Chains A and B, each alone.
Chain A
């Protein structure tokens, strides 16, 4: 798991993750991810290149969303593959963090 790119899109920071958000993946990116949460922008997490997510990864995203929400900022997820989308739905994370099929839809919602 890597943070492949971070792009300042004006109203938000677009963060592209790539790889598996499993136990090892979360360990690899959690420090850098925490640093991104310290900014003053909404975060749009592009999941298009995330091929796997386990509960550790879901907890990392949830914890990030909560931190941002406390400062009136949002975290949104975009472009998950079918398996990742199903996992997000089963855990009901999509009732707490908005999940969009495309980057454009996510940007519009911010």
Chain B
């Protein structure tokens, strides 16, 4: 069974919704436990929603690459050419955060960081590269 899938979408919510459905189908085919499935879908939606909403300084079309790897832990890699943004540096104190205190996009990042096993960020060749393990 193929363990590696590559997707490329444009920076639009319609394309993100279509990708979410495709990925959900893949997770169901593989009988991924519901909690893991929830976390993968959450990470995908929250991180790419932020990129589409806040990641670009122009109105041009951009591509977002998503790679999911099922060998071992589920590894989700998201690459975009938006301006440099490291979600791990987004300031939100996990203990004192209420929704009112959340910065724009902050709630989704906080939620994702809290539920995934690990998240790492690097900037390479003008790309934001986010690697998430679930």
Tell me if A23 counts as interface (CB < 8 A to partner B): yes
A-side contacts of B17, CB under 8 Å: 23-24
Interface extent on B, as a size class?
A: 20 to 34
A36-74 CB contacts (< 8 Å) to partner B: 52, 54-56, 58-59, 62
Tell me if B107 counts as interface (CB < 8 A to partner A): yes
Asked if residues A87 and B99 are in contact (CB atoms below 8 Å), the reply is no
Interface extent on A, as a size class?
A: 20 to 34
Tell me if B26 counts as interface (CB < 8 A to partner A): no
The A contact surface, by secondary structure, is helix
B-side contacts of A91, CB under 8 Å: 97, 99, 107, 110-111
B-side contacts of A23, CB under 8 Å: 13, 16-17, 20, 45, 49
A-side contacts of B13, CB under 8 Å: 23
Tell me if B5 counts as interface (CB < 8 A to partner A): no
A54 and B108 contact, Cβ closer than 8 Å, known pairs A83-B38, A90-B115:
yes
Residue ranges of A at the interface with B (Cβ–Cβ < 8 Å): 22-24, 52, 54-56, 58-59, 62, 82-83, 86-87, 90-93, 95-96
